[in-house]
């Protein structure tokens, strides 16, 4: 048996017992993105990466979401962005930008995890319930956004 | 064992009859025939295996495991029983145990395309996509037209969204009669948004296998996707959550911009219409799924 086959016949599932290794659905990701912004989106994405055992590869997604959040907040709080958004998109302008940034982050994460979502869809794997992690991500993501805005305020 | 008795059936004919019943998916009858044979040949591995397989096919996994363990206790090298035990672990979602059995089998039978295909299928079910592809490729290296390896390879191509349909075409050309070929074709049609064609094919499959839960849920899902009330949700159906995000952003930005240009009454009407559409897109598919 050559090295290639030996490598192919190494266990991939370790000693985990029982659980199906499916990931939280796109619905969970989308809702977290819309209501919780980029940090909530990254939270769900990294939970999925953990389930896929690829946290070592995907951790920069968290950093990118944090950088995007800091960039937007910096512009809003110190660069006059908040006034500009209110003038052009109304009172809810800043919160809309949070949602849009969340959706943009979700788009990037969807592209990274697309093959797993499609795998689940084609094989008919059921996603775990996303209610609790989704709500937790939204609450923590929104809280982190507000806390960072306070820290950055002049 | 008293083979000379006038009442004793011939072992070969009992095994043949039970196998023929398994092939026709008459599992209950196969069990009856095997049980009758086991009365006369209680140590016969093949009849025990047929019993275990029929239990597995009827989704009685506990009875199947019991029968397989009994068989393996006496005949630990029985190939069929070992593969069945691996399938049973998968069915019970004991994936790590199933994997270790497939690995052990492949170390003993390194050219067995059936084992590569089954292990590849397990990898697909646990989202180890790259390994599934490599295993299917290895199986096809040993048996180039193996239907289950071609099936897994076709699904991997679809998941990656490759334009290359060579595995699917080979599967359809070499095994047009096989259920796996039709299921792969349904998946390919669904992937291209051709829900009506996929539904017709899935319904045909269901007519042939009315007891298949997988096919029942597949037909239900395709009926949902091809229902006329889903037409307004085409962007979401075709481009998934990307389409939903585009509709959401376009709606919000469009309404904000319209607020500065159009009369307030018209903007209000458009806002309500858009809101109703969003609520419809969130709730209607779930309601329809319950109605179908």
Q: Is residue A8 assigned to a domain?
A: no
Put simply, the chain A residues between 111 and 150 with a CB less than 8 A from any chain B CB are 114-116, 118-120, 122-125
Question: Is the predicted pLDDT of residue B159 greater than 80, yes or no?
Answer: yes
Does B131 lie at the interface with A, CB-CB under 8 angstroms?
Answer: yes
Residues B125 and B174 in one domain: yes
Domain that holds residue A31: 22-152
Helix, strand, coil abundance in chain A, percent, nearest 5: 75, 0, 25
> What pLDDT score was predicted for residue A127?
92
The closest of A122, A123, A142 to A40, measured between CA atoms, is A142
The count of structural domains within chain B is: 3
Read off the pLDDT band of B3 (50, 70, 90): very low
Share above pLDDT 90 across residues of chain B, in percent, rounded to a whole number: 55
Read off the pLDDT band of B164 (50, 70, 90): confident
> What pLDDT score was predicted for residue B207?
86
The closest of B32, B8, B17, B25 to B59, measured between CA atoms, is B25
- Could you tell me the two tokens for A127? 């996603």
Last residue of a domain, one of B45, B73, B92: B92
Does B26 lie at the interface with A, CB-CB under 8 angstroms?
Answer: no
The pLDDT tens digits of the residues spanning B184-214 come to 888 888 888 888 899 998 998 888 878 788 8
Q: How far apart are CA B194 and CA B138, in angstroms?
A: 32
Q: What is the mean pLDDT of residues B91-120?
A: 95
Residues B53 and B135 in one domain: no
pLDDT < 70 stretches in chain A: 1-3, 15-20
Share above pLDDT 70 across residues of chain B, in percent, rounded to a whole number: 97
Does B158 lie at the interface with A, CB-CB under 8 angstroms?
Answer: yes
Q: What is the mean pLDDT of residues B61-66?
A: 93
The count of structural domains within chain A is: 1
The domain spanning residue B11 has which CATH number?
1.25.40.10
Residues B137 and B254 in one domain: no
Residues B138 and B190 in one domain: yes
Domain that holds residue B183: 93-226
Q: Is residue A63 assigned to a domain?
A: yes
Last residue of a domain, one of B50, B76, B92: B92
Q: Is residue A17 assigned to a domain?
A: no
Question: Is the predicted pLDDT of residue B5 greater than 60, yes or no?
Answer: no
B165 Cβ contact partners less than 8 Å away, ≥ 6 residues apart: B154, B157, B188
Backbone angles phi, psi at B268, to 5 degrees: -60, -45
Q: Which of A12, A20, A115 sits opposite B131 (nearest CB)?
A: A12
Q: Tell me whether residues A103 and B249 touch, CB distance under 8 A.
A: yes
Q: What is the mean pLDDT of residues B50-68?
A: 93
Residues B119 and B33 in one domain: no
> What pLDDT score was predicted for residue B6?
54
Residues B184 and B287 in one domain: no
Does A30 lie at the interface with B, CB-CB under 8 angstroms?
Answer: yes
Residues B160 and B244 in one domain: no
In terms of CA atoms, which chain B residue is nearest residue A13?
B96
In A, which residues are within 8 Å of B244 by CB distance? 30
């Amino acid at each position: 048996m050559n090295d290639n086959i030996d490598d192919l016949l190494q266990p991939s599932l370790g000693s985990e017992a029982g659980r199906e290794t499916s990931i939280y659905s796109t619905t969970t990701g989308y809702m977290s993105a819309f209501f919780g912004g980029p940090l909530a989106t990254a939270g769900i994405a990294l939970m999925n990466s953990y389930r896929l055992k690829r946290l070592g590869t995907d951790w920069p997604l968290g950093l990118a979401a944090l950088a995007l959040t800091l960039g937007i907040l910096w512009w809003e709080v110190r660069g006059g962005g908040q006034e500009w958004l209110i003038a052009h998109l109304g009172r809810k302008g800043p919160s809309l930008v949070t949602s849009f940034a969340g959706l943009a982050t979700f788009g990037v994460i969807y592209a990274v995890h697309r093959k797993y979502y499609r795998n689940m869809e084609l094989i008919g794997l059921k996603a775990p319930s996303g209610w609790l992690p989704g709500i937790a991500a939204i609450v923590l993501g929104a809280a982190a956004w507000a806390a960072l805005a306070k820290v950055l305020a002049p | 064992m008293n083979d000379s008795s006038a009442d004793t059936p011939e072992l070969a004919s009992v095994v043949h009859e039970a196998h023929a019943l398994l092939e026709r998916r008459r599992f209950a009858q196969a069990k009856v025939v095997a049980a009758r044979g086991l009365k006369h040949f209680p140590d016969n591995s093949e009849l025990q295996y047929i019993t275990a397989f029929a239990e597995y096919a009827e989704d009685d996994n506990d009875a199947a495991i019991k029968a397989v363990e009994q068989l393996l206790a006496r005949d630990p090298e029985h190939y069929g029983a070992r593969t069945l035990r691996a399938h049973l672990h998968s069915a019970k979602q004991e994936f790590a145990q199933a994997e270790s059995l497939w690995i052990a089998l492949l170390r003993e039978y390194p050219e067995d395309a059936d084992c590569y295909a089954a292990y590849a299928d397990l990898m697909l079910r646990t989202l180890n996509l790259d390994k599934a592809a490599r295993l299917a490729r290895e199986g096809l290296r040993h048996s180039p037209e193996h239907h289950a390896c071609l099936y897994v390879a076709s699904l991997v191509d679809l998941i990656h969204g490759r334009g290359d349909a060579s595995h699917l075409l080979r599967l359809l050309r070499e095994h047009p009669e096989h259920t796996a070929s039709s299921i792969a074709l349904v998946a390919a049609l669904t992937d291209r948004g051709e829900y009506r064609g996929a539904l017709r094919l899935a319904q045909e499959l269901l007519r042939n296998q009315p007891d298949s839960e997988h096919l029942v849920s597949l037909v239900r899902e395709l009926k949902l996707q091809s229902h006329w009330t889903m037409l307004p949700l085409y962007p979401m159906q075709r481009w998934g959550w990307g389409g939903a995000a585009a509709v959401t952003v376009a709606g919000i930005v469009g309404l904000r911009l319209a607020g500065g240009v159009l009369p307030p009454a018209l903007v209000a009407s458009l806002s309500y219409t858009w809101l109703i559409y969003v609520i419809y897109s969130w709730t209607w598919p779930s309601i329809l799924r319950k109605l179908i």
